[in-house]
Amino acid sequence: MTKEEQEIVQLISIAGESKAKAFEALKCVKTKDFDLAKGLIAESRNLDLEAHNIQTDLISRELNEDIESSNVGLLMVHAQDHYMTSQLARDLIETLITVLQ
């Protein structure tokens, strides 16, 4: 596995962890534990920021003509899908917390 592929897999893993934290927060909303829910959303947001940094680095290298990077493959598309859905889940669950509190 190349270094770039390892970074893409890391992006998938971090995005999955972020989404899991967001859904843990949703479970806390069901039990009205809003403080814990907000803490989990903050953790999710931090993980998304970490994933965003990896994504930005990958994109920057792809755009840099002096650095050879691989073409966008199914693995990167899969990573983008995970990252996008983790952000969407977090945003929606964060809104639910605000509305239901």
- Which residue of the set 45, 52, 61, 78 is catalytic? 78
Which residues, at least 6 apart from 37, have a Cβ–Cβ distance to it below 8 Å? 25, 26, 28, 29, 97
DSSP H helices in the chain: 3-30, 34-63, 74-100
Is 81 marked as binding a ligand? yes
Q: Has 52 been annotated as catalytic? A: no
Q: C-alpha 29: how far from its chain's center?
A: 21
Q: Which segments are annotated as binding site?
A: 81
Q: Which segments are annotated as binding site for Mg(2+)?
A: 81
Active site residues: 78
